[in-house]
Amino acid sequence: MASITFDRITKRYPDGTQAVSELDLAIRDGEFLVLVGPSGCGKTTALRMAAGLEEISEGRLLIGDRVVNEVHPSQRDIAMVFQSYALYPHMSVRENIAFPLQCAGLAKAEVRERVDRAADALGLTELLERRPKALSGGQRQRVAMGRAIVRQPQAFLMDEPLSNLDAKLRGQMRAEIRNLQREYRTTTLYVTHDQVEAMTMGDRIAVLRKGVLQQLGTPEELYESPANLFVAEFIGSPPMNVLSATVTRAGSGSELLLGSQRLVLPAGALDAYPELAGADATPVALGLRPEALRDAAGADPSWPRLLADVELVENLPPEKLVHLRLDAEPVVTEATLELAADVDQAAAEDLRALGRGSVLHARLPGTTPVREGTRAQFAVPPSALHFFDLSTGQAIAPQSPRLAAATA
């Protein structure tokens, strides 16, 4: 077991495109770190540099204490699971799993024993004599895992290993991979574009955009205090609602101007944000997680109230997913456009053309009485407000640990 360290690593292709820029990232010994980002963000390139399949343009890569920039993949003592699995089609499952051990020059008896043990751990014993072609997707995935664990390498590298499986199997394999990793406590670098996979599997998550590290933290940290709009909108499903708003001083407290509405913040709600509390008429990007919109009935009366038109109610017991329309301007930045375009190009066009008003998503308990076509009132706990600089997209971070000042 060993740590993997990216020390200011840059990857530049001959045509000048920079896939990864000065990446600083340390995967601790035994840690499961997920590298996540939209397609083309450089995550796979970073992984391939760790594997030794891609040359490093600048910076140092360390496995343990050893600089491995110039070390051949076969000498790095790491195992990789490919998106395509890359099982050798001409070998049986047994031969596939045994291959790394044969390369290491182990004795036949030992190879046999270790393959049997790995196969047993993965439930592959019955399939050992089959060829990969005769296996299902999930079984192939397991064989690829078997080939990785059998050698007990310093680290696992995984390149979107679950993307070829159907949704149900993916959930199951997610748990299996996590369990295996816990059992072997092998340092793992896992690449995916799926934020759900990242959130459920990673000890820590590194979010990458256009080759630049955006934020590194635990799933909770990323969710609770995203470093910028990109991370805020990338992490979470449905994503965070982001609206243009203005923070204004009003009497002893502050107010939020949101479209035609005024949200009165309870006294002290912005204490943690000296930049906002003191200033007058500061434009910000306001971030609201879907679960930050609560049913106004029975909510703390000091919480600001928000009126919105209920456009659509999706029943998803035990929850309701409610689409709301508000006359506030949406925030359209390069980052939001890129995220939308990653889903599909038309979605990005839609976002541009949305014009006046924005659509909000609210996640409410299934018992909440909301009806489509009505105007409803929602309460927003002040502690759930996220503020971002409108021009840079960087989070305006609270000074002291996020205090639940107003949430009684």
Partner 1 sequence: MFRYTKATALREVLVWAFALLTLLPFYFLVINALKPDEELLTTGSSTPPSRPTVENFTEVLTATGDSNILLGLLHSAVITVGSIAGLVAFGSLAAYVLARTTARWGSVAFYLFLVAIVLPTQLGLIPLYIGARQLGLVGSLWGMIVLYVGTLMPLAVFLYAGFFRNLPRDYEEAAALDGAGPARVFFRVVLPLMAPATGTVAILAGLIVWNDFFSALIFLGGSDNQTLPVSMYYYVGSLVSAWNKIFAIVLISMVPILAFYLFAQKRFIQGFAGGIK
| Interface ranges with partner 1 (CB under 8 A) | 51-53, 72-74, 76-80, 82, 84, 86, 88-90, 99-100, 103-104, 133, 147, 151, 157
Tell me the closest approach of the beta carbon of residue 116 to partner 1, in angstroms.
18
- Tokens found for residue 228: 């910028």
Tell me the closest approach of the beta carbon of residue 58 to partner 1, in angstroms.
20
Residue 275, CB-side half-sphere exposure with 13 Å CA sphere: 12
- Cβ(393)–Cβ(231) below 8 Å: no
- Cβ(376)–Cβ(275) below 8 Å: no
- Show the CA angle centred on residue 271, arms to residues 267 and 275, nearest 5°: 125
Query: Pick from 58, 41, 109, 133: which is nearest to 338 by CA?
Result: 41
Tell me the closest approach of the beta carbon of residue 253 to partner 1, in angstroms.
59
Tell me the closest approach of the beta carbon of residue 180 to partner 1, in angstroms.
18
Specify the 3-state DSSP secondary structure of 94. helix
Neighbour-count burial of 291, counting CB atoms closer than 10 A to its CB (0-12 exposed, 13-18 middle, 19+ buried): middle
Tell me the closest approach of the beta carbon of residue 90 to partner 1, in angstroms.
5
Nearer to partner 1, 155 or 208 (CB): 155
- Tokens found for residue 279: 């200033």
- Amino acid identity of residue 234, one-letter, is F
- Tokens found for residue 77: 């003592």
Nearer to partner 1, 158 or 205 (CB): 158
Give the C-alpha separation, 144 to 157, whole Å: 12
- Cβ(77)–Cβ(154) below 8 Å: yes
Look at strands 155-159 and 78-81 and give their pairing. Answer: parallel
Nearer to partner 1, 143 or 229 (CB): 143
Tell me the closest approach of the beta carbon of residue 388 to partner 1, in angstroms.
40
Nearer to partner 1, 53 or 279 (CB): 53
CB neighbourhood size of 321 (10 A): 15
- Cβ(31)–Cβ(93) below 8 Å: no
203 alpha-carbon distance from chain centroid: 11
Tell me the closest approach of the beta carbon of residue 137 to partner 1, in angstroms.
14
Nearer to partner 1, 80 or 93 (CB): 80
Give the C-alpha separation, 130 to 321, whole Å: 46
Nearer to partner 1, 71 or 277 (CB): 71
Nearer to partner 1, 1 or 86 (CB): 86
Look at strands 187-192 and 204-209 and give their pairing. Answer: unpaired
Give the C-alpha separation, 49 to 54, whole Å: 5
Tell me the closest approach of the beta carbon of residue 94 to partner 1, in angstroms.
14
Tell me the closest approach of the beta carbon of residue 73 to partner 1, in angstroms.
4
Nearer to partner 1, 51 or 118 (CB): 51
Nearer to partner 1, 80 or 306 (CB): 80
